A = this chain, B = another copy of it.
Amino acid sequence: MHQEQRQRTHELLKSRAVERALFASPYSIKWLTGFAAPVQLGVNHPFIGGPPLVWYEAGHFTLFVSDAYAAETAVFDQQPDGTVVTYQSYTIEQPLAGAGHLATALRQHGAQARPRSGRIGLEQRDVMSHVEAALRETTSPEVEFVFIDGWLEPLRMVKTTEELAKLRANFALTDVGHATARRAVAAGQREIDIWTAVHSAIQQAAGQRVPLGNDCVVGYRQANIGGWPLAHALKPSDSIIIDLSTLLHGYWSDSCATYVAGEPTAQQQAIHQTVTEALEFAASLLRPGAVAKEIDRQVRQFIAAAGYPVYPHHTGHGVGVSGHEAPRIVPYNDEVLQEGMVIMLEPATYLPGETGVRLEDAFLITSAGAEVLTHHDKRL
């Protein structure tokens, strides 16, 4: 499970002379271990005491988690290069002190092999201050700390076979969501009514809870690019942008379509046609070697040439343990597409307070170009 990810990490750290490292970013933890702590009620519940951590040393990865996650992490404990250390969190015998127990577990682990030299990597932007303090307590002053925030992000761009399976399972769920949305959109329905129908269908298909992003907004909202569903009701010929991201097995999908309640207007049909063609054009640019910012420039140019306002957001992005990751398809980005990347493309145009269209598909970059991973109907 996720051994290839750990191998890539080991090689990177070795090449940069980092002998030990503490990973704290939730994205790093999921990517290194395959374990995804549930997020939908907030990650730092009083019963948990803190987000998971991974300690790297000599090619081995130790996952520190609340004992509430003992069952879910057992598979990682069986990996040849993985160990799980659990700490007590929920108890009725004493005050809840999971954070303290986590720090103690880390301190005890560090004390066993107190580093006296070398470099320790630290994801400083995600690690809690008291956790870093516990780590430093068991570290000689001669040890150098190196901040490794963002180091794994480039390694995450090309997906493994295991990751592609998880991503495909998620894209199957967004397909279910859009099929439901298409049936649910009707005059009289509110954004929240459509959203709950979509979310229910996705969770029933998965047979479990599945967090759901991103947008469900009627065209007549002034800020009609994105936003959460509210009580705005659809009137005949109102458009609605429905952008769906699911989170199953720790991986995100993404997808967007735009629907109209009843009969679309001539204007809606025209901009929908333009955005449909923009998405086809964007997809045609995908291949190994293509430069992110060049795709971005050409797709914006396509919308502008059609005479519509150019979307103010990204043209696309990578997707994986994070819903928006490298390579970003944006104006500044020199990154080059590689086989095995999974890329979202989402051209759009918006007329604030009136209507708007965004269409989004996912693509696996292949030697031949790209394979589409989303299969939802995007017709008006």
Interface residues of A (CB under 8 A from B): 26, 38-47, 50, 92-96, 99-100, 122, 124-133, 147, 149, 190, 192-193, 195-197, 199-200, 203-204, 206-209, 211, 213, 228-231, 245, 247, 312-314, 322-325, 328, 330-332
Give the dominant DSSP class at A's interface.
loop
Report yes or no: B128 in contact with A126, Cβ–Cβ below 8 A.
yes
A332's contact among B93, B200, B211, by CB below 8 Å, is which? B93
Q: CA of A100 to CA of B124 in the docked complex: distance in angstroms? A: 11
Give every chain B residue within 8 A of A26 (Cβ-Cβ).
42, 44
A42's contact among B43, B131, B332, by CB below 8 Å, is which? B43
Q: Which of A122, A130, A213, A230 has the most chain B CB within a 10 Å cutoff?
A: A130
Report yes or no: A99 in contact with B125, Cβ–Cβ below 8 A.
yes
Give every chain B residue within 8 A of A93 (Cβ-Cβ).
330-332
Q: CA of A16 to CA of B86 in the docked complex: distance in angstroms? A: 36
Complex copy number for this chain:
2
A128's contact among B100, B127, B324, by CB below 8 Å, is which? B127
A-B contact pairs, 8 of them (CB 8 A): A38-B228, A40-B40, A42-B211, A43-B43, A126-B128, A192-B207, A192-B209, A208-B231
A157 to chain B, nearest CB (A): 14
Report yes or no: A92 in contact with B125, Cβ–Cβ below 8 A.
no
Instruction: Known A-B contacts: A41-B245, A92-B330, A208-B229. Give 19 more (CB < 8 A).
Output: A26-B44, A39-B43, A41-B323, A43-B43, A92-B328, A94-B332, A95-B328, A96-B328, A99-B125, A122-B129, A124-B133, A127-B129, A129-B132, A190-B207, A192-B209, A195-B203, A197-B200, A207-B230, A209-B228
Closest chain B residue, CB of each to CB of A296 = B92
Give every chain B residue within 8 A of A228 (Cβ-Cβ).
38, 208-209
Give every chain B residue within 8 A of A206 (Cβ-Cβ).
192
The 8 closest A-B pairs by CB, nearest first: A207-B231, A196-B200, A39-B42, A92-B330, A129-B132, A99-B125, A124-B130, A127-B129
A255 to chain B, nearest CB (A): 15
Give every chain B residue within 8 A of A209 (Cβ-Cβ).
192, 195, 228-229
Closest chain B residue, CB of each to CB of A315 = B92
Q: CA of A124 to CA of B247 in the docked complex: distance in angstroms? A: 30
Report yes or no: B325 in contact with A46, Cβ–Cβ below 8 A.
yes
Give every chain B residue within 8 A of A247 (Cβ-Cβ).
41
Q: CA of A124 to CA of B27 in the docked complex: distance in angstroms? A: 22
Closest chain B residue, CB of each to CB of A94 = B332
Closest chain B residue, CB of each to CB of A131 = B129
A16 to chain B, nearest CB (A): 20
Give every chain B residue within 8 A of A312 (Cβ-Cβ).
92
Report yes or no: B47 in contact with A324, Cβ–Cβ below 8 A.
yes
Q: Which of A40, A100, A247 has the most chain B CB within a 10 Å cutoff?
A: A40
A204 to chain B, nearest CB (A): 6
Give every chain B residue within 8 A of A229 (Cβ-Cβ).
208-209
Q: CA of A206 to CA of B204 in the docked complex: distance in angstroms? A: 22
Report yes or no: B207 in contact with A196, Cβ–Cβ below 8 A.
no
Q: Which of A125, A193, A312 has the most chain B CB within a 10 Å cutoff?
A: A125
